[in-house]
Structure formats: structure tokens, C-alpha cells
Structure 1
Amino acid sequence: MSFIRNILNSRSPVDGNFFVQLKEILGFKPKSKSIYITAFTHRSMNIKDDKGNPINYERLEFVGDAIIGSVIAAYLFEKVPHGDEGYLTKMRSKVVSREHLNKLGEELRLIDFVESRIPKSNFGDNIHGNLFEALVGAIYLDRGYKFCEKFINTRVINPHIDIEALEGKVISYKSLLIEWCQKEKHTFDFQVYEDTGKDELKHFSVKLTLNGKVVSKARATSKKKAEEKAAKRAFFAFQNEITNLQ
């Protein structure tokens, strides 16, 4: 199949050690080299197979996301026999949170393997988690579920999962704050506006009001990040009241 040869030949001589370095991360030798090439191919490369289907890591993300969630769910089911469905769901969300997956991908320096026409400095933080998911998806298609399970145990569960620490971990300060406001009948409002500062990247500022009073402000490169930062600052301002309600 000509498209497989094209992807294998598309990497530059600088990436000659790609599979040597990848083997160190995986802990085993890949069988299907093309699927791992795909796992690190950005859509900007605009590579397609013989049928015109795009070849990039986005579909592998979908597979990897499902596999990671499955392995973590099984682990928590066995590890925490007293946990009900709500507890297990919340704990799984903490393990597979975007922030956590981004850290995992960043620790493994997966971005070093990416083939892209976009400068790597232009990628956002989520590229790290996306690549981690894509890598797990590639492992599944190459070696099956058991190899994925071993990889996730080695790279995620053993070094990072501490049940007691996870119980106290906050995934989203915004969600936590909103839940508290709804229970306590507080009114809140995230007032978001574009910040016309001198930064190269566009920024957004947020004023968070609680019962009509501004309780925190924040600024970030996206509305979502700005709101989360403002919510985090508000959380620590009202930490005792919020945690007592949990």
C-alpha cells in the first residue's frame, strides 16, 4: 500500500531514532510501525490514504480515550470495593482529566515526535494529552488490550494514582463553585470580556461576581482558562464554606 510507504518515508533523517526512543517509552517493540507514525502525525501534514481518508492522530485519540477510561475504571472497581457508582465515576474523571493527561504526555515528551507543518511553539497544552491518548490507541491496534493495560499501569496507575490524594483533588474549581452556589442559593456571574493588552496572543479577562459583588478576577489566553482561574481564586476565598458542604 503506497500510502503506508509514504508515511514511513515522510519522517526526516533527524527522526532516525524514532522507533528506538518509542520502544523505551512503550517497554516493548512495536509490530505495526505505520500506526505509531500515524499517532504522531498532525492533521496539518494533510496526508491521505489510497481512498482519500485523512491520516493523522485524531481518530486514534478516540480509541485511546476509551481504552484509558476502561483500564482506569477496572482498576478503581477492584481497588475501591466500597465506592458506589458516583464515587467511582468522579475518581475516574480525576485520573483521566485533561490536565492530568496533558502532564503525562508532557512528561514523556511526546511532542518531540510530532510531524507537523505548524511550529510546535504554537500548540496549546492539550497537544500533550491528545498525543498520549493517540499513543494508547496505537498500542491497542498494534498489540491489543493487555499491552494497553500494562502500559497504563506502568505510566499512569503505579506512579500517579494515590486514592487518598485523588479524593481531595479538585478537577474543576468552576464546577465546584457552581455546585456550592446552587446548593446555597447564591447568585453568580462570570463576566468575560476580551482583553486588548499588548500581548502577542489574545487574552480574556473575567470578573466573577457572587450575590452582585465582585469576588475575584483573572486573565488567560482563553475564556475557559480565565473562568477557571477566577473560580479557583474565589474557591480559596470561600474554602471553609465550600469544603464544609462537601
Structure 2
Amino acid sequence: MSWPKVITCEMNIAGWESALLKANLLEKYSNVLTGFRKELAKEDITANFQRELEAGRMFGPFSHETVAHHFSFFQSSPLGEVVNSDGSVRPINDLSFLYNQPSIPSVNSFVDKDDFSTTWDDFNTVASFFRNNTHQLQLSLFDWEKASRQIPTAIPTSGCGSFGRPADAWKEIMIAEFDLVHVFRWVDDNLFVKTTDSTTSMADIVHRSLQLGVKTNKKKYSEFTNKQKFIGFLWDGTNGALK
């Protein structure tokens, strides 16, 4: 297998530009389009890798020596696994793994979290919204499939922070185009909120997102209902109850 040298972008850039323009967000998120065009700075386990390879979001397998030849900073980390809320399993790189050798620090030890502030909606933000809400609401979930791996990154640079900006733009486009009260986002998980008399459906939101190139994880996607589990808690849109 040859080493990948071409960056691809799954996004419908023209569709994004049109949507941002219509929502009066073009100036605010113009750098998202620039990133799409010019690259942003940079048996479950086996099946997961195979899906990524077939989609062109992963390459390989390559030997440690081959990757180190192309990236002088390359350092391998052990594989781990995480169980998703739907019971499926996904592989992860344990980037915080400590080798107990001072000469080999963990990958995450090089990252200063203060350099990568986020716009994620944490528990306090979501709880404050429901605590102050006086309307009957319906909730639904949308999981951005493969998140940052849908975003093109320049080969010689890190992709840290590359997902957040496009995800913020997509969220505001959805709010502008559909009859929604709000959308909360935690990394690639999104909680959509609408009033009970709104005719907006998640099928419409998924269809529009696909037009832009944004894919959803069908196992974690759900239609509007009174209750949804988000960031580890069960939220009730009818009475604001929390479990």
C-alpha cells in the first residue's frame, strides 16, 4: 500500500457556503470554508477499522518504521476500547498511556488544554436551560459520524481543534434553517430542542445535514420525544426533570 499524499474533504462546500450565506453566518464562519478548501491546520474493533479504511478516513496498516519515516515526531500508543451508549464498541488510542520511562512521555503530555478552548455545552449550561424553561419541549439526538475524521487536515500538522469550528457553524445553520429552540453540543453529540407544536423532524435535519456532507451515526440518532439521554443524564423536556 502506498503512503497517502492527497487530502480529501467529504463536505459539500458549495452547500455550506449557500447555507451560511442564507443564515447570515458567512462572515462569522468564513474560516470554516477556507479550512475545507485549503486544509485545516492540522470482531467490533476489526470491523470499525475496516469501515474507516473503506471510507478513506484511515490508511494502512503500516509498520511503525514506515510511519516514523514520514513523521519524525511519531510515537505509538496502545489501543483501548470504549463501549458506546448503544452497546457498540469503538477502538481508541490511549494517548495518556505512561510508559514509566522519562524519555517517553505520553502524547497528551505535550498538549496544553488552555490552547484549545471549546464551545461545548457542559452540564451547568444544559441544566440551567431546563431549570429556567417554562415550555413543553421535545428532544432528539444527533451524533456527527466520525467527527474530526470528516474534516480535512494538512498532512504535516496536528488536527487539534479542527472539528470544533465547523461543528459550531453546522449547529448555527441548523438553528437558522429549522424551527428549533436550541441545539446543545458536546463534542460530536448534539441535543436538539423544539417546542411541541414545531413540525421540524429529525429526518429533515439529517437530510439537510447529508446535503452538506455531515453524516450521522444511525445507531445514536433518534427522533424527537419527551426524554433523551445527553452527556450522561436523562433530560425531560416536559417538566425539566433530571435523572
* TM-score normalized by the length of structure 2: 0.28
More strand by share: 2
Rg (Cα) greater in structure: 1
* TM-score normalized by the length of structure 1: 0.28
